[in-house]
Amino acid sequence: MDRRSFIKKASVGAGAAGATALAAPAIAQEAPTINWRLTSSFPQSLDTIFGAAETMAEHLAAATDGKFNVDVYAAGEIVGGLEAKNAAADGTVEMAHTASYYYWGQDATFQLGTATPFVMNSRMQNAWFYQGGGTEMLNEFYHTQNVHGLPCGNTGAQMGGWFAKEINTVEDLAGLKMRIGGFAGNILAKLGVSPQQIAGGEIYSALERGTIDATEWVGPYDDQKLGFNQVAQYYYYPGWWEGGAALHTMINLDKWNELPAHYQAALTDACAYANTSMLASYDVLNPTALKQLVADGAILRPFSQDILTACHEAANEVYAEVNAANPTFKAIYDSQVAYARDAYLWAQLSEYTFDTYMMIQQRNSNIG
């Protein structure tokens, strides 16, 4: 018997017994049917990252016996991708799936929910979120912005992007017109890069026409779809501005507070499933895309140590400026940095040594 037919029969019973016998509002309170809208910051074509919201919604509906439903809308269907959090905060929709750092211009603290350049990798982000007090600290801030945030997806360390020419020295960065967003663009600007804000669909032609010299996007699987290898051969790594890029489900704070506690719990767990599942998707899809990109002419290049050092110093200048101006940013940044200092100490023993050994075996075709 499904819920609808139960309610129908129960209503008949209640009618027969008098309205007091069956307290309909109590049923509603226990397991109400809820239909929410989620606006994603991403187009459907980015199936891994857009898909994390769909995975979350599917798991949430399944765990609540179809009672808590979230309809997932792509960027632009309700509001633009960079307005997703705002739409959840102002109640246009109940939820957004977005990258917190898109809103750093409103408050730099938003940056710290997604990626803190030269601080944590994705595994450390999860440690900090789930057991290091991170989600609680972020939500103290997010609540002031009228949303509640739950980690819901990660890209892992992103690539540094596509460059029309080789970048060998720090001097090669000066004057470079690079499509790179917000906070990271501010860091690169200190080294003479001219950061450009260009929507995903227009990057290819800007590179082709030479309007820009370089672009960052995500990693092999997503980058391949946009065909950047056809117009900019050099594929640099790592994307130090996103050692891990965490996505969040952001829920209108009043709507979150009104949810029955078990729906809050089911939503938290559905987000946790999607959080792991999205990184798993990238990890399964990126290797094949990487091989195809290289077969199609992409030339892999690591940023030089000098470039990384200069970018790191520039990042620290930006941190000093923001920390001086924004105590909320500073408190969360300090927590992340304190954890990262410890985490990289531990990570360099077994994890790093095991990985290094296995990567050598990969190069020697000696796995399995």
- The C-alpha torsion from 57 through 61 and 63 to 68, rounded to 10°, is 110
Among 36, 102, 129, 228, indicate the residue that binds a copy of itself (CB under 8 A): 129
- Does residue 337 belong to the site contacting a copy of itself (CB under 8 A)? yes
- Can residue 288 be called a binding residue for a copy of itself (CB under 8 A)? yes
CB 130 within 8 A of CB 191: no
3-class SS at 76?
Answer: coil
Q: For the segment 198-227, give every residue that binds a copy of itself (CB under 8 A).
A: 219-220
Quick one: tokens of 89? 């905060």
Q: How many residues bind a copy of itself (CB under 8 A)?
A: 112
Nearer to a copy of itself, 211 or 312 (CB): 312
Query: Which residues make beta-bridge pairs with 149?
Result: 250
Chain-centroid distance, C-alpha 310: 26
When binding is defined by CB under 8 A, the residue of 101, 204, 228, 333 that contacts a copy of itself is 333
Q: Judged by CB under 8 A, which stretch of 74-82, 105-113, 206-214, 236-244 contacts a copy of itself?
A: 236-244
Q: Where are the beta strands (DSSP E) in 132-269?
A: 147-154, 161-163, 177-179, 194-196, 214-215, 234-237, 246-252
Nearest partner of 73 among 83, 64, 61, 63, judged by Cα = 83
Q: Does 367 bind a copy of itself (CB under 8 A)?
A: yes
Nearer to a copy of itself, 136 or 349 (CB): 349
Question: Which of 40, 126, 145, 229 touches a copy of itself (CB under 8 A)?
Answer: 126
The single-letter DSSP state of residue 46 is S
Shortest Å, Cβ 339 to a copy of itself:
7
Indicate whether 320 belongs to the interface with a copy of itself (CB under 8 A): no
Q: Which of 149, 153, 181, 239 binds a copy of itself (CB under 8 A)?
A: 239
> Which range touches a copy of itself (CB under 8 A), out of 60-68, 91-99, 141-149, 224-232?
60-68
CB of 226 to a copy of itself, least distance (A): 18
CB 147 within 8 A of CB 250: yes
Judged by CB under 8 A, does residue 269 bind a copy of itself? Answer: yes
Least distance in Å: CB of 79 to a copy of itself? 28
Interface residue with a copy of itself, options 29, 106, 169, 197 (CB under 8 A): 29
Q: Of 174, 199, 284, 299, which one interacts with a copy of itself (CB under 8 A)?
A: 284
β-pairing, 234-237 with 161-163? antiparallel
> Does 49 help bind a copy of itself (rule: CB under 8 A)?
no
Q: How many CB atoms sit inside 10 A of residue 32's CB?
A: 15
295 lies in the binding site for a copy of itself (CB under 8 A): no
By CB under 8 A, what part of segment 64-123 binds a copy of itself?
64-66, 118-119, 121, 123
Which residue, among 330, 134, 314, 135, has the nearest Cα to 240 in the 3D structure? 314
For residues 266, 272, 276, 281, the Cα torsion angle rounded to the nearest 10 degrees is 50
Considering only 254, 257, 291, 325, the residue that binds a copy of itself (CB under 8 A) is: 291
**The token pair that represents 296 in the structure block:** 């199609």
131, burial (CB in 10 Å: exposed 0-12, middle 13-18, buried 19+): exposed
Distance separating alpha carbons of residues 196 and 206, to the nearest angstrom: 10
CB of residue 194 to a copy of itself, shortest distance in Å:
24
**Cα–Cα distance, 176 to 194 (Å, whole number):** 6
Closest CB to a copy of itself among 60 and 164?
Answer: 60
Based on CB atoms, which residue is closest to a copy of itself, 92 or 277?
277
Binding mask 157-196 for a copy of itself (x = CB under 8 A): xxxx------------------------------------
Contact 214, 303 (CB under 8 A): no
Contact 162, 177 (CB under 8 A): no
